[in-house]
Structure 1
Amino acid sequence: MRSAEDWSRLGGVVITVLAVAAVAVLLVPRLLGVAAGPEAEIITALKSTERDGLSLTLPGVEEPLRSQKHYFARITVNVEPGGERAVAWATLDFDGLLGRTAISSLGVERVPFVRREGEWVPERLAAPRLAAVVRVLESRRRALEAGDREALKALLAPGLESATGGGEAELERVLGLQRRRYRAETWLLRLERDDAVATEAWRLEGQLPSRPVDERGQRRFSLIRHEEEFLFSSSLM
């Protein structure tokens, strides 16, 4: 039979093995990432969102943009000198919701990455260009509903501020409604490197002096990248 001293030694060995295993669980993935290089780490970080889901916070919008399903493909990574920053280019196929608005998007995504505490993470969002396009569309919807002309003008690309980019008569008709409610039911998006196209299915409700209004329709918009934002490059209506 084993003595108490033998059992004590065996227990010490077991504790040591468990401690080493715990350290390995924490360190091995990081060491493997270092061995594989930043490109592999960044690609893995983007692809892992397909399993975990995306929730993108948009400035000035209460609800986040949430994915129902999405897929990153054709990922390329450019690491900046110094090895602390990088940019991932990819195509993103996205279906999700912003509140009650259904969004389907396909196109180019540019994701800046930074190295924090030894790991590569998105600098801000995992899909910043998609977020920028959805934000400007939602800002337009809110400004129309609120009748905020200044907010609408701020959404136009430089050179179009003095007008609404076309569609002035339709804009006046919409803003002339009382108890106005403007809803985007769907946004279908196509994103390129420096511009985007959006098709909106909308519903407009309100009141004229003579009758109530309840209309549905579709509109197509062109947007252009301006620094880190997208702005309307043609008619708001």
Structure 2
Amino acid sequence: MARIKPQALLQQSKKKKAPSKISATTFMFCGLIVVLALFFLYSTYTHRSIRFVDGAYLQDDHGLMDLRKSDIPGYAIFTTSKGPITVELFKDSSPEIVDKFIELCQKEHFKGMHFLRVIKHYVIQAGNTDNLGNTEDWTVKGKHHGQLHASLKHEAFMVGTSKGKRDDKGFDLFITTAPIPDLSEKLVVFGRVVKGEDVVQEIEEVDTDEHYQPKSQIGIIGVTLKQKV
């Protein structure tokens, strides 16, 4: 029997131990599975979660997604032509109105809105010309300050919208500049000015015509929503 040389034995051993090579197709297939799995996880996360970006909430195909109360913005900063006004939102006592307000902020409903009525020592109103209401009704009731009751809603610098129709066009803004005893009869209060009272007073002091409309335009440039200020 012929002897096998040691060198030949070593080569045969290497051939037996050499691992099989992974084909390029298998490698690409495995990589594709990993990428698809990561994409699925990311899509699930972004669909079920909501993120707050630069003061605005993201929406899904069905509108504003449900949020925990702790996630809803607690403040709105109105940038006006006279300066900023920071409003604390009553998200616990007026949740439906606050939700509608946030929705309209997303739609930039208040951007470019003008203050169309200024009644000194009473109220300033921003809104559409078709929704001003009866000026006399406001001014007559505003004279009865002696009937003031102890209520947060009757204080100055409260923010509200008129009762009744509050669709995308009818949601106006009122900021009181004095205690109003019958405020709850006219408005749904959903916030309070916590910073920028001087700006409200500056708007209150502008010259108006006989219909309480400012002679020079004063507008809202934009609204930024914040969780904290």
TM over 0.5: no
Q: Compare the two structures and name the one with the higher strand fraction.
A: 1
Question: Considering only CA atoms, is the larger Rg found in Structure 1 or Structure 2?
Answer: 2
- TM-score grouping bracket, smaller chain normalisation: 0.3 to 0.5
Higher RCO (C-alpha 8 Å, min separation 6): 2
Give the TM-score taking structure 1 as reference length: 0.34
